[in-house]
Chain A
Amino acid sequence: MRWIIIVLSLMVFPVTGFAQSGDEVIKKSQDAFFYPGKDFKARVMMKLIGKGGQERIRELTMLRKNYGEAGGEQKIFMYFFQPTDVKDMTFMVYKYPARDDDRWLFVPAINMVRRIAAQDKSSSFAGSDFTYEDVSGRDIQDDAHAVTKEEAFNNRDCYVIKSTPKAGDMNYDYKLSWIDKGNYLPLKEEYYNKKGELDRLYTSDEIKEVKGFPTITKRTMKNHQSGHTTEVKYLSVDYNIDIDDSLFSERYLRQPLKKWTE
């Protein structure tokens, strides 16, 4: 009998032996990554680098406000500086847990506000190697999360989580995430395609503490299949700046205030 218990516990240990489940780690990671502070503002510089080295720049200000608990509703406002053909364009998202976002786009040349369809979260964000989900977070219950091991990465102790989409319609088969045990930020993510090849590789390249919140201020997403890379840098970042609810409205989508966008 004792022999059977030992065997069973050996079999079960790799799954249940960790202090936290995959879902718990991913929840804490999303809270640390997408929800710190009451609100957040960053001036974001994205560099899109083609296989041949040609570069394109996307520069924007991103403002985000949380409503309710971490993991709950959020409102996001973006103002584009570059490239020139989208300068002064604004973009607004109401993000809801477990249902489609509401998205609005303002086109300054014709002073037009439009809703845009948002079911496809795996679409590229502004032409980069990041998807909308990479930018705003993927619903936790859309994947099965399992802690596969614990190991050090860049001298930080990490949980390694395997996240497998429950629906088969994603453009990757599974994702491995190295999540820092201390601050729960993802340090590395590997996306594997259906053939088991590395599809995209994410790395956090610089982490700084801003108003007490560990913040990834430089990150890279490299598409190993296409050779295309996107580097993202926060030129400035701030938290708890009392963003007014009224910012997230058609009024300011059409006429954004400089104090928020600059």
Chain B
Amino acid sequence: MMINRVFVYIFIGMGLFISTATASEISLHGFLQGNYSVDTAYSNPNGGDFKRAEERLQLKLDASKDPFHIFVKTDALYDHVDNKARLELREGYFDFRSSAWDVRLGRQIITWGVGDLVFINDVFPKDFEAFFSGRPLEYLKKGVDGAKIGIYPAFASFDIIAIPFFTPNHYPGPQRFWMFDPMPDVTDRETTEPSKTPGNTELAIRAYRDVAGFDTSLYLYRGFYRQPSAMPNDTAMPSKLFLSYPKLSVYGASFQGRALDGILSLEMGYYDFRQDRSGSDPFIPNSQTRTILGYQRQMWDDFSVSIQFYTQYMHNYSEYVENLPEGFTQEKRLYSLASLRLTQLLAHQTLKLSFFSFWSPSDGDYIINPEARYNFTDHVWGAIGANIFGGPNKSTQFGQFDKNDNVYVQVRYEF
């Protein structure tokens, strides 16, 4: 087990390290959290009424003695939906820093790009079930197991990330979520992750600096798409599905800065699916150009509005259409998605009312996520919110979740 091995290395390293650090350089923090999400329209496919019901303890251990630093964040939880106790290593890494460069080794969360819940050059693993079932935002991001090197010459900064161990995205599962399955009768399914060979090590590079007042980044990624593609053993009479993660390279850029009395963001990326450059393989996505245009503005005291428009353009569309087997759902050439976020802080910023919504002009589906969060004290906060899904078509991203509307509660004591 990878997790166990990482745990062991981290704890051995930690032990050696702590023995040389003084008490003031070590800190232990964390939280106790309850997180519950109840169905409001339909019970789960497996009959339950909770998308999530869990109590969780997180411990964050931080030890530093310049130029070294160790950080471990682990969660222990009891999941009432599956009736299981679990231990999760959320992050566990070792840092070394010098003035011109630094390195971070181990499990780490990496967030790139300028999108708000839409991602182009942030190719790192995500947990979308967390987002759809009312978990705190931080659980949308999963750590990667790898090494990050930062290099900081005067003319620009560079992040270079090597990920030898592949982590897929986590999507809602058919036990807790009603969702679209193009081949519900084919239950024999085999998922293959990229083999752990040196040649399959993922590489991600970001170069960034200020250009005319705009935070400007260039991105390169070579690795795998974290959403699996399904290939049937026989397109006419399928009896088995093979799921695998297509080879992907991404070339992109982002810009963010002050403009039009607010913050303007632009991000672009070319998704090069290397196994299907001609577009003729219907079971591997065609190459795409993805774009986000975003704008954020503070309208009055403690009230901000942000809007985004995302597009995903499929290249070699005619080849895709020509080769799509009969009976398969045909994707559009241009997918579009708009988002709106409204945030109002009240009561000395202890009460946060927020509204977030995605709506796809091309698919007509949506998700609406209103939330109220209140800090009862400096240590205790609670949030209540809802996820409401809908759309005319049961095969689209949010339309398929139409029967999964839920109301959620999060309560956390932090120490």
Q: Which residues in A have some Cβ–Cβ distance to B below 8 Å?
A: 48, 50, 56-57, 82-85, 87, 100, 102, 109-113, 115-120, 122-124, 126-128, 171, 228, 246, 249-251, 255, 257-259
Q: Are B378 and A122 in contact (CB under 8 A)?
A: no
Task: Pick from B29, B64, B208, B301: contact of A123, CB below 8 A.
Answer: B301
Which residues of A sit under 8 angstroms from B297, Cβ to Cβ?
117, 119
Shortest distance between the CB of B15 and any CB in chain A (Å): 21
A119 and B111 contacting across the interface, CB-CB below 8 Å: no
- A87 and B73 alpha carbons, distance in the complex (Å): 14
Chain B contacts for A126, CB-based, 8 A: 349
Interface residue ranges of B342-392 to A (CB < 8 Å):
345, 348-350, 375, 377-379, 381
Could you show 29 A-B contacts with beta carbons less than 8 Å apart? Answer: A56-B377, A56-B378, A82-B378, A84-B29, A84-B378, A84-B379, A84-B414, A84-B415, A85-B414, A100-B261, A102-B213, A102-B257, A110-B109, A110-B141, A111-B108, A116-B263, A117-B304, A118-B258, A118-B298, A120-B301, A122-B301, A124-B301, A127-B348, A127-B349, A127-B350, A250-B157, A258-B25, A258-B64, A259-B66
Contacts of A228 in B (CB 8 A): 348
Evaluate whether A124 and B258 lie within 8 angstroms (CB atoms) in the complex, with A83-B378, A111-B108 already known: no
Q: How far is the CB of B87 from chain A (nearest CB, A)?
A: 19
Answer whether residue B95 sits at the interface, using C-beta atoms and an 8 A cutoff: yes
Query: Count the B residues whose beta carbon is within 8 Å of the partner chain — how many?
Result: 49
Is B185 in contact with chain A by the CB < 8 A criterion?
no
Q: Which of B157, B262, B263, B296 contacts A251 (CB 8 A)?
A: B157
Partner of A255, one of B95, B141, B261, B296: B95
Contact A109-B66, Cβ < 8 Å, known A56-B378, A117-B304, A255-B95: no
Other 17 A-B pairs with CB < 8 A, given A56-B377, A123-B301, A127-B350: A48-B348, A82-B378, A83-B379, A84-B29, A87-B29, A112-B111, A113-B111, A115-B258, A117-B263, A117-B297, A120-B298, A120-B300, A249-B152, A250-B208, A251-B152, A251-B157, A258-B64
Contact across chains for B375 and A85 when beta carbons are under 8 A apart: yes
Q: CB-CB < 8 A to B298: which residues of A?
A: 117-120, 123
**Residues of B close to A102: CB separation below 8 A:** 213, 257-258
A128 surroundings in chain B (CB, below 8 A) = 348
Q: How near does chain B come to A242, taking the closest CB pair, in angstroms? A: 14
Which residues on B sit within 8 Å (CB–CB) of A118?
258, 298
Residues of chain A lying within 8 A (CB to CB) of residue B111: 110-113
Q: A111 — which chain B residues lie within 8 A by C-beta?
A: 108-111, 141
Chain B residue at minimum C-beta to C-beta distance from A100: B258
Interface residues of B in 88-129 (CB under 8 A from A): 95, 97, 102, 108-111
- The CA-CA distance from A119 to B97 in the complex, in Å, is 36
A-contacting residues of B (Cβ < 8 Å)? 25, 29, 31, 64, 66, 69, 95, 97, 102, 108-111, 137-138, 140-141, 150, 152, 157, 208, 213, 215, 256-258, 261-263, 265, 296-298, 300-302, 304, 345, 348-350, 375, 377-379, 381, 412, 414-415
Specify which chain A residues have a CB less than 8 angstroms from the CB of B414 in the assembled complex: 83-85
- How many whole Å from A81's CB to the nearest CB in chain B? 10
Contacts of B157 in A (CB 8 A): 249-251
- On chain A, the residues within 8 Å of B300 by CB distance are 120
Asked if A257 meets B66 with Cβ closer than 8 Å, knowing A111-B111, A246-B152, the reply is: yes
Q: Establish whether residues A171 and B301, one from each chain, have CB atoms under 8 Å apart when the complex forms.
A: yes
User: Taking A110-B109, A112-B111 as contacts, is the C-beta distance between A255 and B213 under 8 angstroms?
Assistant: no
